[in-house]
Amino acid sequence: MFEGFRLERVRLSNATLRVRVGGSGPAVLLLHGHPRTHVTWHKVADILAKDHTVVCPDLRGFGQSSIPEDTFDHSGSSKRAKAQDCIELMHYLRLDRFALVGHDRGSYTAFRLAMDHPAAVTHLMILDGVPILEALERCDARFAAAWWHWFFFAQPDKPERAIGAGPEQWYGVSPAEMGQEAYADFLEAIRNPDVVHGMIEDYRAGLSIDHVHDAEDRQLGRRIQCPTAVLWSLKDDLEALYGDVLQVWRPWAGSTLTGKGLPSGHHMPEEIPDMLAFEINAFLAPDRAANSR
């Protein structure tokens, strides 16, 4: 995995991140979802590295990055805090302008990063996500039945105990789906009670502080400033819940918003890496020369 990439642990002001960096050319930052680590990107990263400097961190609270301290408002696990980590990481790497791709929970950090630090982000691609505020405002019985885990994970203590009783059974992933090396990294994460707690805190932040930040942006009329693309899995439930997914994003993005569904289940970086890498390259290609390192 990650042929030619280097593996680092980077100490930032409020977190230490495990990160892989490889390739050369315009920078692209890839943010994973739950319950994955940065290793979920390994097939996509190898393709993108032919034309890009690719950066893949474990988000704080996930994988082998540091676990934030608990606070009453879960601010240490907020997407704003994680976005700040990413800005500091890219500054450390001397990649102060970069494209950004976020999947699942990583899409919320990517969205927050683009909103809070517009000068740094050249392109934003969202995979299988809508803004947390939009999801909560549209919440109905269908959403509650399909995404019940959002509300279960918001409860104190019980989610960690349930997952800890059988992590492999809870998440139900096989090495055949992920590859042996990626699966081993995944198992190490989900078997660590501290990491499980860090991952669950990401959801608690979503229902306590993250949607407040979204609401503040809406009230102030803030929007994403860079070209934005949204891709969703046709074998998952985003279309079933929202119909026109792009319609949900239009109030938040500019006129350059594009997107479509892809023939995949939820974990696109693992299930359709070649197709996903093609879509990322196609999205970034027009401005490749202008955004070189």
Catalytic residue among 51, 116, 237, 266: 266
Cα angle 90, 44, 257; round to 5:
70
Active site (annotated) includes residue 197 = no
What is the Cα 78 distance to its own chain's centre? 13
Q: Which residue is associated with the tokens 């707690």?
A: 197
Active site (annotated) includes residue 104 = yes
Q: Please, are residues 128 and 150 in contact by the beta-carbon 8 Å criterion?
A: no
Cα–Cα distance measured from residue 58 to residue 24, given in angstroms and rounded to the nearest whole number: 21
Q: Token pair for residue 30?
A: 């890839």
Catalytic residue among 85, 104, 210, 214: 104
Q: Which residues are known catalytic residues?
A: 104, 266
